[in-house]
Structure 1
Amino acid sequence: MTDTQTLIENRPPSVASLFLERVEATPDAEAYRFPVASADGGAESWRSLTWKQAAERVHAVAAGLMDLGVRPEERVAIASATRVEWILADLGVLCAGAATTTVYPSTNADETAFILADSGSRVLIAENAVQLAKAVERRAELPDLVHVVVVDADGADLGDDGWALSLAELEQRGKVYLEKNPEAVRKAVGEITKDQLATLIYTSGTTGRPKGVRLPHDCWAYMARAIQANGLLEADDVQYLWLPLAHVFGKVLTAGHITIGHVTAVDGRVDKIIENLPVVQPTYMAAVPRIFEKVYNGVAAKARAGGGAKYRIFKWAAEVAREYAKVTQDNRRRTGNASAPFGLTAQHAVADRLVYAKLRDAFGGKLRACVSGSAALSPEIGYFFSGAGIHILEGYGLTESSAASFVNPGEAYRTGTVGKPLPGTEVRIAEDGEILLRGPGIMQGYHGLPEKTSEVLESDGWFHTGDIGELSADGYLTITDRKKDIIKNSNGKYIAPAAVEGQFKAACPFISNVLVIGADRNFCTALFALDEPTILGWAKENGLAGRPYAEVVGSEQVRALMDGYVQRVNQDLQRWQQIKTFRVLPRDLDVEHGDLTPSLKLKRPVVEREFKELIDDMYAGTRED
């Protein structure tokens, strides 16, 4: 048996067990960093918790939940943005033997009530008064919900009936409970079995009501050990964690962190990422493609604002980066040596001094690797960052597979693929191209939905992902598209919209989101949503300064601008893939309007319904392909 097999097969039954092992092994090592507001309104500072200090709070939360009457496998919901208290609360739930139900803080009161009721959650840990209000509003409909614990209790009306209490009060109750029952938490952890429910994560609901995915303790213990066995992360790494912890991608990062023992800096405020990176100086960060697209667009916009010469230098450097990345990755794949011709290497060295070094500094200057997941990253954007020395390792997984089924292997990564399966995960491609997965990370099923479970999970453990993909001879997986998103036009031609959309995102620095349409039609069209800061910067230079966003994107100048990009991209597309006409949306797509999931994935049916008139207008009359 190999060391990797031993590590995975001898895993403990739960992440709670791994957490106790980590605390015992490195009690005084730094575990978490988190921002703290200044008392006088000045600049924020960052504080740290050692593993021992974190454990004291985790044990207090766990014991506090026990004191509230929470029993093994009963659900405790967390409705909060990403912050260190989310992690401590989740670990407290797990160490009590209970199960965490995750709720995005952006979820409205109706859907929050649905999740709380469907999961049968006994306690809700709410971030603040806003999240508390959602539960108060629907309290009469939630008889199972016996308590709400509020993290930031300032401004929150906790009432006087004991139903709501602060996190500080919960922890104090836990400390008192532990004085009487000092071994209560260790005993609870010791009694956890691998098949016991650990987490209910509700799917993003891109096509309807979310389904609760049942993930037992063994899923997370397996993921933790598989990430460790992968070898990407080391004990001296610093991770910057901003992803939503209600999403499986963010959640799995906490498991890997515990087993490896590196430092994690936690701050879920997306608008603080650029500000935080030079302060945190991470060596590792996970993100969704939209973040890398925004960085790329921002760099391009800044270069454009610097004048014609700077913009020409940026465009030249971007092409050099892509070519350098493609050549070196291809040579590494074929020969094991990531070399490039002398001329290209010389150009790359000049571009590095002029452009790439500044970009790396913006990421903190110490970034060794990023992992991108949740959606497809445009290969051209991936090659740009690769050539600039910011190595984006694409990965792949679903909520139903505990997030991390595939990831690119360190230096041997290949842009445009999602890498190889994690140790212990099996993969095969069905006759219709669908990716099937089997392994310890696969869910038990959908909560209370046996028929839905049987639609995707076979009796022998194979899970139908709904994604289409191809495996290379040496095991690298390429995702082609979502099975349900494949377009078949009226002439019988199949089109993968994500691939076409990715080409537009790479070509046009103004695009925030794009939706390609063409199912049962005789030609393809597109809806473009433009990035507000970038397009308004362009507007200042093109006679539209001071105009509001909606007026700018509705102008003839912007239509002509976008038409130029459409013609350029169409040159590289098959005839039946080409965009014959398009519309620029009057606003960007976002989570608040329901166009995107909290993990920034496009809700195609929602966008198509909302902008149906624009789509109908593009297909009005008769038009030949």
Structure 2
Amino acid sequence: MREFSVPPVVTIADTMTLTDAIWDNARVSPETVSFLRRTDASSDDWSPMTAAEFHADVISVARGLIAAGVQAGDRIALMSRTRYEWTLIDYAIWAAGAVTVPIYETSSAEQVSWILSDSGAVAAFVETNAHTLLVTGLRDDLPDLREVWQIAAGGVDQVRAAGERIDAGQVEERRRRARADDIATIIYTSGTTGRPKGCALTHRNLLAEVLNAVAAFDHLFKGETRTLLFLPLAHAFARLLQLAVVTSRGTIAHSPDPKNLLPDLAAIKPTFLLSVPRVFEKVYTGAKTKAEAGGRGAIFARAEATAIEYSEALDNGGPGLLLRARHALFDRLVYGKLRAAMGGKCTDAVSGGAPLGARLAHFFRGVGVLVLEGYGLTETSPAVAANVPSAIRIGSVGRPLPGVTIRIADDGEIQILGDVVFGAYWNNPDATREVLDSDGWFSTGDLGELDDDGYLTITGRKKEIIVTAGGKNVAPAVLEDRLRAHQLISQSVLVGDRQPFIAALITIDEEAWPGWLAANGRDADSTVAALAGDPALRAEIQKAVDEANKAVSSAEAIKVFRILGRDFTEATGELTPSLKVKRNVVHKTYADDIAAIYTK
């Protein structure tokens, strides 16, 4: 059993809570711009909000919650896209001594009903009229739910107005009574399998995460730190960044609509970003497709190869004179335009939630944007390991963050110990006992390796291991990650459990599809479903399969692939809100396709 530990930089006192940062910022640096807010939905103008103004707004909403009868420890649901009000409500709930229960704004009625019922939420903030109709339609089965406030219909203003009769001293009294070991939030896992479990995280859990992470990533939070949040704040990963930027007195802007992401990046000019690998893949694919459509495909291909070679050289003694010259040329022709699309000032990004892949990491570092890959789970607040500028090993997820101990069990499972580890699933002691032992070690369900320097590499998930009819254990992640590196492939899912060989289900990237049609002389209106058997298309995907197979033995290699007629989406049920593939749904939905592979 291999183990690696990094001591904490910051320890959490029993009286500390997440709202301390709001009060400290207002006292120490009241004029610091904490947020940039769009003046109205149709405007490209952004107005600043200072630390003092945000502090006052938090108190105002917290007073309204107290006026509504919210007690310390009560659960308040929050169902909305990423926007300023999400962050405001989150902190106001904590200031009132209550517990935030995030709900993805795309959740189904069944999911919303379960989360509200299981958490015992006494009130809910929702964003849209559709959300209001959904929640009010469930109220007969939710006896604890007393209030529903709609953000888009002035619900936050209603709460503020109700709080005017409450003395601000009551908010301060709630804050003084709160403790680090009080529950701050219950995050329901998006659930790639089964019913979501409520992960109860305390103020201590999140403070241990945030304060130690800020210390580890100190280069991100020095000087004028500015970021644009566009991932769902219901996801623990995005929530961590929110907390870290507020704590470090940086500036946050919110971008709730993916259609506005590029203009929002141009307007905000973030110094760093947080994203999931799928977004980085789309940035890369979009740039490549655009270059090929404009007749500059060959230039992009050489620029891509140079960026990767340059990045790899940084780990092997540094680039030589000719490589530096070639890199400088492509920086003027290609890389500068890519950085400009990200706002022009972004030199760093943090990636998590799924494997990034070494090729993509090298590409972006070569372009001039260092993508720092990390690893964690909701149950670990969430990050437990990460690459940092002073300690990077591309292909790994880095070393343990301060205050975290990681060990690899005899069967290869990654286990975590530290203040970031949650204490229990809400109302679910049986599930808690399955993953937490008496010493506080959390069994992640992920498989990994720790090298002598403490760098962690993820090799798969225990429950996803495929055992072929020949008894070969195959971890899908290695092959799936390599397949997704191809610009034409959006998703890949390996199958073959108890079958004679490994096969792959492949979906085509919708953004890359028009470029492929044009380049191959196919009708522009052709669908993937219509051309799934097209020899040229299959030949292109076969190249990706052949490249992926180089990473594994013959017994683990993909022998057959099947191109599916459409991509996986959250709406059709194959993806979670954090864009992870729900394998059980894919296996069920495409059971006939899988059966056909093995009955030919």
Residues 1:116 and 2:116 are matched in the alignment: yes
Per the alignment, in what secondary structure is the counterpart of residue 526 of structure 1? strand
* Cα deviations by residue, 1:546-581 (Å, 9 ceiling, x for unpaired): 324344543514233323433344355421232221
Q: AA paired with 2:431?
A: K
Aligned to 2:170: 184
Counterparts of 1:549 and 1:486 in 2: how far apart (Å)? 33
CA distance change for structure 1 residues 288 and 5 in 2, over 3 Å: closer, same or farther?
A: closer
Q: Kindly indicate whether structure 1 or structure 2 has the higher relative contact order, using CA contacts under 8 Å at least 6 residues apart.
A: 2
The CA deviation string for residues 449-501 of structure 1, in whole angstroms up to 9 with x for no partner, is 11110110011111001111111212111111112112222222222211101
RMSD over equivalenced CA pairs, Å: 1.7
Measured in 2, the distance between the counterparts of 1:432 and 1:344 equals 43
Cα pair 2:508 2:528 within 8 Å, conserved: no
Equivalent residue number for residue 170 of structure 1: 159
8 Å Cα contact 1:553-1:559 kept in structure 2: no
CA distance in 1, matches of 2:8, 2:449: 26
SS state of the match for residue 15, structure 1? coil
Q: Tell me which residue corresponds to 1:619.
A: 598
d(CA) in 2 for partners of 1:222, 1:22: 19
Deviation at 1:9, TM superposition (A): 4.3
Match of 1:161 in 2: none
- Alignment-mate amino acid for residue 344 of structure 1: L
1:437 is paired with a residue whose SS is: strand
Given that residues 230 and 254 in structure 2 are in contact (C-alpha distance below 8 angstroms), is that contact kept between their aligned partners in structure 1?
yes
Secondary structure in 1 matching 2:121: coil
Match of 1:242 among 230, 237, 254: 230
C-alpha contact 1:544 1:552 (8 A) present in aligned 2: no
Kept in 2, the 8 Å contact 1:485–1:497? The answer is: yes
**CA distance in 2 between partners of 1:355 and 1:550 (Å):** 30
1:484 corresponds in structure 2 to 463
Aligned length, in residue pairs: 591
Change (3 A) 1:306 1:86: same
Structure 1: distance between partners of 2:406 and 2:24: 31
Secondary structure at 1:264 match in 2: strand
Q: Following the alignment from structure 1 to structure 2, what is the Cα–Cα distance between the partners of residues 19 and 142?
A: 33
User: Which runs of 5 or more residues in structure 1 are unaligned?
Assistant: 155-165, 332-338
Q: After superposition, where does 1:119-158 map in structure 2 within 5 Å?
A: 119-153=119-153
Deviation of 1:329 (Å): 2.2
Q: Map 1:210-609; keep pairs closer than 5 Å.
A: 210-230=196-216, 231-235=218-222, 236-307=224-295, 310-331=296-317, 339-506=318-485, 508-551=486-529, 553-554=531-532, 556=534, 557-609=536-588
Matched, 1:30 2:33: yes
The CA distance in 2 between the partners of 1:34 and 1:496, in whole Å, is 44
Amino acid in the other structure paired with 1:446: Y
Do structure 1's residue 20 and structure 2's residue 15 form an aligned pair? Answer: no
**Per-residue CA shift, 1:265-323, capped at 9, x if unaligned?**
1113223222221211111111000000111111111121122xx21221122122112
For 1:292 and 1:463, how far apart are their aligned partners in 2? 30
Aligned to 1:82: 82
Please identify, of 19-28 and 582-591, the stretch whose mean Cα deviation from structure 2 is larger. Answer: 19-28
1:163 matched residue in structure 2: none
**How far is 1:222 from its partner?**
1.4
Q: SS in structure 1 opposite 2:152? A: coil
Q: Which amino acid aligns with 2:220?
A: L
**Matches of 1:221 and 1:12 in 2, distance apart?**
12
* 1:53-72 to 2 correspondences below 5 Å: 53-72=53-72
SS in 2 for 1:448: coil
Asked if the contact 2:15/2:178 (under 8 Å) is kept, the reply is: no
Deviations along 1:346-402, one digit per CA (max 9) or x if unpaired, are 322222222212111111111121000011111111111111111100011100000
Q: Distance between the aligned counterparts of 1:105 and 1:565, measured in 2?
A: 35
| C-alpha distance in structure 2 between counterparts of 1:575 and 1:444, whole Å | 43
After superposition, the C-alpha distances for 1:180-228 in whole angstroms (9 at most, x for unaligned) are x231111111110111111000001101100000101111221221122
Give TM-score, length-normalised by structure 1: 0.91
- Partners of 2:117 and 2:367 in 1: CA distance: 48
Look up the SS of the partner of 1:533 in the other structure: coil
Partners of 1:553 and 1:584 within 8 A in 2: no
Three-state SS of the structure 2 residue aligned to 1:286 is strand
**Paired residues of 2:449 and 2:456 also in contact (CA < 8 A):** yes
Letter of the structure 1 residue corresponding to residue 34 of structure 2: A
- Alpha carbons of 1:264 and 1:552: their partners in 2 closer, same or farther (altered >3 Å)? farther
- C-alpha contact (below 8 Å) 1:327/1:340 kept by paired residues: yes
Q: Which amino acid aligns with 1:216?
A: T
Which residue of structure 2 lines up, in the alignment, with residue 334 of structure 1?
Answer: none
Q: Distance in 1 between the 2:383 and 2:27 partners?
A: 27
Is this contact kept in 2: 1:226–1:423, CA < 8 A? yes
Letter in 2 for 1:313: I
Superposed CA offset, 1:204-255 (max 9, x none): 1101100000101111221221122212432521111111111110111122
User: Partner of 1:209 in structure 2?
Assistant: 195
Higher mean C-alpha displacement, 568-577 vs 605-614: 568-577
1:14-44 Cα shifts (integer Å, max 9, x gaps): 1112221122111111001132436xx5x43
Distance in 2 between residues matched to 1:91 and 1:607, nearest whole Å: 38
CA contact (8 A) 1:427 1:436 kept: yes
Instruction: Provide the residue aligned with 2:45 in structure 1.
Output: 45
- CA 330–14 in structure 1, closer or farther in 2 if over 3 Å, else same: farther
Q: CA deviation at 1:583?
A: 1.3
Contact 1:99 1:198 in 2 (8 A): yes
Instruction: State the one-letter code of the partner of 2:199.
Output: V
* Normalised TM-score (structure 2): 0.95
- For each residue in 1:413-445, what CA deviation from the matched residue of structure 2 results, as whole angstroms up to 9, or x when unmatched? 221111121111111111111111111111111
**SS of match in other structure, 1:149:** strand
Q: Quote the Cα distance in structure 1 between the aligned partners of 2:184 and 2:160.
A: 21
Q: Give the drift of 1:410.
A: 2.0
- Does structure 2 conserve the Cα–Cα contact (< 8 Å) formed by 1:232 and 1:409? no
Q: Which SS does the other structure have where 1:563 is aligned?
A: helix
Find the aligned partners of 1:175 and 1:548 in 2 and give their Cα distance.
Answer: 60
Q: Measure, in 2, the Cα distance between the counterparts of 1:572 and 1:584.
A: 22
Q: Unpaired segments of 5 or more residues in structure 2?
A: 1-6
The answer to whether the 8 A contact 1:505-1:511 is kept is yes
- Residues in 2 aligned to 1:493 and 1:555: alpha-carbon distance in whole angstroms: 30
